[in-house]
Amino acid sequence: MHRLSFIPGRLLQSIPVVFGVTLLVFFMAHLLPGDPALAILGDKATAARIDALRTQMGLDKPLIVQYGLFLGQLVRGQLGTSLTYQVPVSELVLEAAPVTLSLVFFALVLSLLIGIPLSGIAATKPNGFADLAVRGYTLIGQGMPQFWVGIMLILFLSLKLRLFPVGGYGQTAFDHFYFLFVPALTLAIALSPTMIRSLRSSTINVLGSEYVATARSKGSGGTELFRKHVLRNAVIPTVSILGVNLGYLVGGSIVIEKVFALPGLGSLMLNAIFSRDFPTIQGVTLFVALFVVVVGILTDVIYTLLDPRVNFGSKERE
């Protein structure tokens, strides 16, 4: 069987999850106190408009029909209309998503740049001084509120050293890169403890393996050994952790976007919360959750490509 032949099955497996996600987001409207149509249109809507939406949502029909109508809209890419801006929520989401996704991707790259060297140093001599220092970093790193790390970085990098702007997103592509550096660093600091823990323990395992001993006996050493023989094998378990954490990074960026005033999904959602713009909250939540499901599938594909031993098709996954 081809190694990637698990993909159709994996896609099939995620169908109930996608349905579950839409179901949960659908029920959000029904969990709100009062009439869902009123919640969606807001207090200022006229009785006629509320009635029209009630009919459109099928609020007088059974729940299952309402859910069907909701799904029908979703398939056409309709997430409703924002109460605040009076434009389709899908437009707002598509406008904000690139900011959040660039931030998340940038943070991922930075966390690898922090994590790989630190875990390499720590793993070369377990329980040595460097290892203890790196482990201390992971312990403290886990205990720091992300937004507070962001504020501290603003304090030192932006206000004291004046190296970076205190917030905003800039105009040009280069601006974006420059403006996103400190927010991405903040997220990377939050993610790196997880990554270092995983990389450190897998690197220790790889360093103790026979093929590394063989490579050493053939005269390989230093960074060459690390790059060619250790890194690729040590990174594999980390990929699956990173895949799951991408969803976490998106969640974290919601908070970080507030600290740095970035116009991403987080700001969109928080502003929507304070203006009680329910369709926008629903839209962002749904978009983010579906993104996480897709990333989960992609992670499995990358994992298989990296590790020839993994075969999701032949073996039941736990």
User: Contact residues for another protein (CB under 8 A)?
Assistant: 16-17, 20-21, 23-24, 28, 31-33, 139-140, 142-149, 151-152, 154-155, 159, 190-191, 193-194, 197-198, 201, 241, 244-245, 247-248, 250-252, 254-255, 258-259, 269-270, 273-274, 281, 284-285, 288-290, 292-293, 296
Helix and strand numbers (H, E) in the chain are 13, 0
**Helices 7-31 & 278-306 angle (0-180, nearest 10):** 160
Residue placing its CB nearer to another protein in the complex, 144 or 215: 144
| Alpha-carbon dihedral 228, 208, 127, 233, rounded to 10 degrees | 40
Q: Are 264 and 257 in contact (CB under 8 A)?
A: yes
For another protein, the closer CB: 126 or 313 = 126
Rounded Cα distance between 313 and 2, Å, is 9
In angstroms, what is the minimal distance from the CB of 304 to another protein? 19
Identity of the residue, 63 or 151, whose beta carbon is nearer to another protein in the bound complex: 151
Cα 217 to Cα 98: distance, rounded to the nearest angstrom: 49
**Closer CB to another protein, 94 or 139, in the complex:** 139
State how far Cα 77 lies from the chain centre: 22
**How would you class 43 by CB atoms within 10 Å of its CB: exposed for 0-12, middle for 13-18, buried for 19 or more?**
exposed
Type of residue numbered 139: L
Q: Least distance (Å) from another protein to the CB of residue 214?
A: 26
Contact indicator for 230, 212 with CB cutoff of 8 Å: yes
**Strand ranges in 223-280 using DSSP code E only, listed in sequence order:** none
Nearer to another protein, 33 or 308 (CB): 33
Minimum CB–partner distance for residue 20 and another protein (Å): 3
Q: Smallest gap, in angstroms, from Cβ of residue 4 to another protein?
A: 22
Shortest separation between residue 224's beta carbon and another protein, angstroms: 28
Least distance from another protein to the Cβ atom of residue 276, Å: 8
> Judged by CB, which is closer to another protein: 176, or 258?
258
